[in-house]
Amino acid sequence: MTENNKDIALKAWEIYQNLAKGMGESAWKIRSIYFTTSAALLAYSYNSSAPELYFIISALSILFFIMESGYRRLQDQFIDKSIQIETTLNDFVAKEKYPRFPNSLGTDVDTPSWKQLIQLFRLKRIIFWLPYMVVFFTSIILFLLDVKK
């Protein structure tokens, strides 16, 4: 392999790293908007004695979870692509005769599916899904108990 191929692999790795970082930052922004909005609606629902507004919080929990999970799934795909490039770069460092290149170098990703969304509920990702579940069920319980000022 030539020095050109190594440079291409290095540039692709850098692009994948930046895309994964950007997806992660976007996911955290979505999460922060969700918690800010939910806390404000929770306080307003209690203060205005309008427990039916608790359902809006439940709906927001679902919508923001789906939105953030899409970004997390895209981030996972770019991390996987980055790992493939790292294998190539390791082969260059080890001076392998035939470094393993991925099938393609591109930013194309698979469309996130509902099956992948369900896989986000693994125990390994509890820090991701548990806050959404807590807010979702808390708002429903507050509605059922008719909590108001």
Q: Which amino acid is at 19?
A: L
Average pLDDT score over the chain: 88
* pLDDT score recorded for residue 104: 65
89: pLDDT strictly greater than 90: no
Distance of CA 48 to the CA centre of its chain: 34
CA distance 94 to 91: 5
Among the ranges given (6-10, 39-43, 97-101), the one the predictor scored with the smallest mean pLDDT: 97-101
CA distance 102 to 115: 25
Prediction pTM value: 0.83
CA distance 41 to 56: 8
DSSP letter string over 31-80? HHHHHHHHHHHHHHHHHTT-GGGHHHHHHHHHHHHHHHHHHHHHHHHHHH
Distance of CA 74 to the CA centre of its chain: 7
* pLDDT score recorded for residue 27: 95
* pLDDT score recorded for residue 142: 94
* pLDDT score recorded for residue 87: 84
* pLDDT score recorded for residue 92: 79
Domain spans, the chain: 3-100+111-144
Average of per-residue pLDDT across 20-29? 95
